[in-house]
Amino acid sequence: MTTPARLRPRPTRFGLGFLGLTVLTLVGCVNYALSLGYGLTFLLAGVWIMLAAQALRAARGVGLTWRPGAPVTAGESATFTAQVSTSGPLTPVQVQAQSTQGEAVTAWAAAQSEGTALVHLPVPARVRGSLGLKDARLNVHDPLGLWRVAVALPLPDPVTVWPAPEVGAPPPPVRPAPGGGESTRRTRGDEDFAGLRPYQSGDSPRQIAWKQVARTGQLLTRETDAPQGTALHLNWADTTGDPETRLARLAAWVARARHSGAPFALGLPGRTLPAGQGEAHAAAALTLLAGHAPLLEVPAPPRPEKTAPPPLDPARWRFTLLALGVSLLPMLLRQPLWASALTYGVLAYTAGRTRRDWPPLSPVVLAGLVTLGGVLLNAHFGTLLGAGGGAAILGLLLSLKAAETRTVRDARLLSLLGLFMTGTHFFTDQGPLTALHALVATVFLLAAASRWVVPAGAETGRPLRRAARLLGLALPLAAVLFVLFPRPDGPLWQLPLSGGAQTGLANEISAGEFSTLAQSDAVAFRADFKGAVPPPSDRYWRGPVYEAYDGLKWTQVRVTGSAPSMQETGPRWRYALTLEPNGTPWLLALDTPVSVPGGAVLSSAFQAATFRPAGTRTRYALESAPALRGVTEDARRLGMNVYLPPQSPRARALGESWRTLSPEQRVQAGLAFLRQGGFSYTLSPPTLPAQDRVDAFLFGSKRGFCEHYASAFAVLMRAAGLPTRIVGGYLGGQINPDGGYLIVRQRDAHAWTEVWLPEQGWVRVDPTAVIAPARVNANVGTALVQPGAQQAAAPGPLERARLKLDAWQNRWNDLVVGYDGEQQRGLLTRLGLGQVGSAPYLLALLLLVAGAFWPALAFLRRQDRPRDPALRALHDLSVRLRLPRAPGETAGAYLRRAGQARPDLAPALDDLLDAYQRARYSPGDPAQARRDLLAALARVKR
């Protein structure tokens, strides 16, 4: 078969769905700044593009030869058989054609050996005559079935359709032989030996003269005859009815004579067949009947009846369910145990139905599970629109979709849904383990999709290895797009992703709020400084500012009016902040933030916040500096920050007693009261009453955590006439010696006060520091054990190993998770490529994308080479001479054709043929024969 030079790959329906999934995930990554999502999206895009090239390359190297078809009887199916050969590994191949009797037929190749396969195309033969194919084409698919390349096929020779014999036909009439005696009128029969003749197709093996064959080496058949009067004479005149009825009876008589071995002659109007016997003679008679005029007009093919889809192949279906289970694994750590048990229970039940006769889950049961799961998950997460609840309900819906799947189309759709589910895990984590899981899950899901491309029995190769190889080929292209694809600075739309119960600072402060956080060892954020790390006394990380007080809790308020003043008093600290997911908009900036990244704002309370809550790990660039804040402040804000509700009269009286002092002395008086009052720092303070809570703490329990001291001190200062507010955030941080950055954990959560002093503005005052100085100089753990310690104890071996792992995590966050538009612009500037969209950028993008295809093309070329050394040498020769080898062409025929095309190489090609035959067939040392073959190949110049 000669393949057309111009071939075009076209996406299949599944390929369009795959493309749609890729576009959808890309939009989600752009909107939510999912860096790992970009990586997965570009990896899938690379697979989509690479498979188009692979399908096109396979189509250019495919060949097909038709095998002669055998005659069939009307009402049966004729089988057109073709041998498909490819230059490389066998790819999914489908033959589609239209029969000359109006039937559309399709068949897939069944693998026979490496690079070859057989296609058996069954075609219904509905009427006698001739049956052939038209509009035949070969559809070459990629291993995942994303692309299809149509190759026009030559038409095979038509087959003869014999008339169907009449059922229960009467025996043929006995007609006497005309004229002459027995000795003069003889015909072919099985009574007397008449001589030898060359063997013909259809001769019985019993008639072969084996002794003559052994002596002469030529197949000869014994020919016998019989008196003509003993042969059957099947005649048109002995039948009645319409032509088709007559032909059916004659066909029945021919079949009876063939079965009995009796010689017969056939007479039709205008045509006769001399008497004879045997399979060949019967076939000639039936062929004569098939072509008798007039031929029937072929009726329109019947409309196909709607039938139930065939059951899914159990082995493939179990593998698909396994792939779905792998894609859902991270949900085990992020949803309630009962939700995981329900999801995996449905998958296990569906898989068990492939081995046992269990009933399917009814629509009522499926609807009940959806309703029950949705209600319980909404109660657990508080919403089904957030990252936690949304992913959990999607996982449950995915398992229920698998339970009601019945068709191959839906089974393949589940692979796409599994890939989408894999991408949703990036909303809650983008660490290295999540990236590794995404790769493993993608391999399983692509392997599951590849197993549904061809029907059962036609599958070849190892799907997991094939899927892993595809991802490997797509990796260079994915890396180029990950680095150079434009990264927008803001979302496309605003849709907060609430993560449910996330650990972090709250919108209000009440007793026990920070002591609960202090028991969590989870990382809140990491800070990489450009230069020296601030000393412990300056590591106050500013978060929400609480200014409204009702006697029980402190809350945030929005104050309108003139903006407060800010004057920097020291050098700036420049750092990158990597926030863990917390569901809040606050940027925990080092006090005081003076420069915030794009998409963030600085409030009138000097609180940095972003428009998009941190639903995923996010990296920001910030600048802070010591400053005088609010020297010029709005009078309404100052008035609000001295208000006290009518509670805790003893604390109010104590504060009011200091009003005769200067503002600075009032602050010192409050701190001295705490320092000398027998107070202690603890994570387990007693429960305080709702009424007069501050009095109960200051003059009763005297045991508390940072929020107790900050709240009580703020009440004392307001009673003393000083505007005071509480700032929530974090204090301290652990320096990682392996990376030189700060790790701030939830246990470092802290609350302190800000007191407004004339000509100084808002001054930070930390009352906890006078109770437990180690809280500032060391950490929470040291402050609880040794409140007066000046530094934390050196980390032990386990802690050092933990810090090393965290350093790797931070590096990952810096290079992968935190790669955003700002980092991309900085990289392009350092490389001299200008901005996104500039001419150097576009040129570099084009060159790098083109270069990313080279590994795949090199691999495909290597795959095209046969594994057998001798055949590989012949393949290399065809590439060197740019003279393809025709399908089924022997080595000798090919080399002779090559010698005719290149007469100057004829002697070298003769030597190569001799070396090839010795390497393939001669006994002896195969290694030496292969070396001789390679030497002969080297002498053939291009």
* Cα angle value 324/329/333 (rounded, 5°): 150
Rounded to an integer, the average pLDDT of 506-534 is 81
Average pLDDT over residues 113-127: 82
Instruction: Report CA-CA distances (Å) from 325 to 395, 462, 738.
Output: 10, 20, 37
Catalytic residue among 225, 750, 820, 864: 750
Crossing angle for the helix pair 387-403 and 408-424, nearest 10 degrees?
170
**Which residues span the domain enclosing 346?**
335-427
pLDDT of residue 180: 36
Note whether 680 and 767 are same-domain residues.
Answer: yes
Q: What is the mean pLDDT of residues 14-33?
A: 92
Residues 398 and 521 in one domain: no
Query: Are 633 and 743 within one domain?
Result: yes
Which comes out higher in pLDDT, residue 606 or 931?
606
Residue 476's pLDDT band, with cuts at 50, 70 and 90, is very high
In a domain, 39, yes or no: no
Of the two residues 189 and 616, the one the predictor is more confident about is: 616
886 and 788: one domain? no
Chain segment 824-867, per-residue pLDDT in tens = 888 899 988 888 889 999 999 999 998 888 887 777 777 666 66
Task: Judge whether residue 85 has pLDDT over 70.
Answer: yes
User: Does residue 551 belong to any structural domain of this protein?
Assistant: yes
Give the C-alpha separation, 331 to 342, whole Å.
Answer: 12
Task: Give catalytic status of residue 706 as yes or no.
Answer: yes
* Radius of gyration over every alpha carbon of the chain, rounded to an integer in angstroms: 43
- Tell me if residue 141 is catalytic: no
Mean pLDDT of 495-520: 63
Q: Which two tokens stand for residue 752?
A: 């302190």
pLDDT at 184 over 70: no
Q: Quick check: 880 and 887 in contact, CB under 8 A?
A: no
Q: Are strands 159-162 and 72-73 parallel, antiparallel or unpaired?
A: parallel
Residue 937 — pLDDT band, cuts 50, 70, 90?
A: confident
What pLDDT sits at residue 866?
A: 67
Mind listing the pLDDT tens digit for each residue in 626-678? 999 999 999 999 999 999 999 999 999 999 999 999 999 999 999 999 999 99
**Is the bond preceding residue 890 a cis peptide, omega within 30 degrees?**
no
| Amino acid residing at 465 | R
How far apart CA 764 and CA 539 sit, in angstroms, is: 12
More confident residue, 412 or 562: 412
The Cα 754–Cα 638 span in angstroms is 12
Beta strand spans in 588-684 (E): 589-590, 593-595, 600-602, 608-610, 618-624, 627-629, 680-681
Q: Check whether residue 635 and residue 714 sit in a common domain.
A: yes
Do both 900 and 766 map to the same domain? no
Q: Which residues touch 785 (CB under 8 Å, ≥6 apart)?
A: none
In a domain, 89, yes or no: no
Q: Where are the beta strands (DSSP E) in 407-561?
A: 508-509, 523-529, 540-546, 548-549, 554-555
- Both 774 and 882 in one domain: the answer is no
Residue 529 lies in a domain: yes
> Are residue 554 and residue 635 in the same domain, yes or no?
yes
Torsion, Cα of 869, 874, 877, 878 (10° steps): -130
Mean pLDDT of 43-62: 88
Q: How many CA atoms does the CB half-sphere of 184 hold within 13 Å?
A: 4
pLDDT given at position 744: 93
- First-to-last C-alpha distance (Å) of the chain: 26
456 found inside a domain: no
Nearest to 603 by CA among 642, 641, 547: 547
619: enclosing H helix or E strand: strand 618-624
User: Is 774 part of a structural domain of the chain?
Assistant: yes
- What is residue 680's three-state secondary structure? strand
Query: 287, 161 in Cβ contact below 8 A?
Result: no
Q: What is the mean pLDDT of the chain?
A: 85
Residue 86 lies in a domain: no
The residue from 29, 281, 591, 706 that is catalytic is 706
- DSSP reduced 3-state for 799: helix
CA distance 35 to 528: 19
Structural domain contains residue 520 = yes
Average pLDDT over residues 86-103: 83
Mean pLDDT throughout 543-568? 90
How far apart are the C-alpha atoms of 505 and 588, rounded to whole Å? 10
657 and 739 share a domain? yes
pLDDT at position 583 is 73
pLDDT greater than 90 at residue 700: yes
Cα 542 from Cα 752, distance rounded (Å)? 10
More confident residue, 224 or 47: 47
Q: How many CB atoms lie within 10 A of CB 882?
A: 7
Among the options 142, 203, 313, 766, which is catalytic?
766
**CA–CA distance, 826 with 815 (Å, rounded to integer):** 13
Residues 553 and 634 in one domain: yes
Q: Please provide the size of the chain in residues.
A: 942
- Residue 153 confidence class, pLDDT cut points 50, 70, 90: confident
**Does residue 489 carry a catalytic annotation?**
no
3-state secondary structure of 803: helix
pLDDT at 227: 54
CA torsion 590-596-600-605 (nearest 10°) is: 50
Q: What is the model's pLDDT at position 558?
A: 84
Which pLDDT tens digit goes with each residue over 730-782? 999 999 988 889 999 988 999 999 999 999 999 999 999 999 988 887 777 77
Q: Which two tokens stand for residue 873?
A: 């040498």
- Work out the pLDDT band at 498, boundaries 50, 70, 90: very low
pLDDT at 871: 73
Domain boundary among 427, 453, 485: 427
Q: How far apart are CA 769 and CA 775, in angstroms?
A: 6
Question: Which letter does DSSP use for residue 814 in this model?
Answer: I
Which residue, 547, 527, 750, 556, is CA-closest to 624?
527
> What string of DSSP letters covers 876-901?
HHHHHHT-PPPTT--HHHHHHHHHHH
CA distance 71 to 625: 94
73 neighbors 9 (Cβ within 8 angstroms): no
pLDDT tens digits along 793-818: 777 888 888 889 888 888 888 888 88
Q: Rounded to an integer, what distance in angstroms lies between the CA atom of residue 751 and that of residue 890?
A: 86
- What residue type is assigned to position 340 of the chain? S
709 touches 768 (CB < 8 A): yes
pLDDT category at 581 given cuts 50, 70, 90 is confident
- End position of a domain, from candidates 758, 781, 797: 797
- Count of structural domains within the chain: 3
Q: pLDDT > 70: what percent of the chain?
A: 88
* pLDDT higher than 70, residue 2: no
Last residue of one domain, picked from the residues 427, 443, 464:
427
For 379, phi then psi, to 5°, come to: -70, -35
Residues 632 and 554 in one domain: yes
Whether residue 767 is found in the same domain as residue 909:
no
> For 249, how many CA atoms within 13 A lie in the half-sphere containing its CB?
18
Q: What number of other Cβ atoms are within 10 A of residue 705's Cβ? A: 29
Residue 502: predicted pLDDT = 45
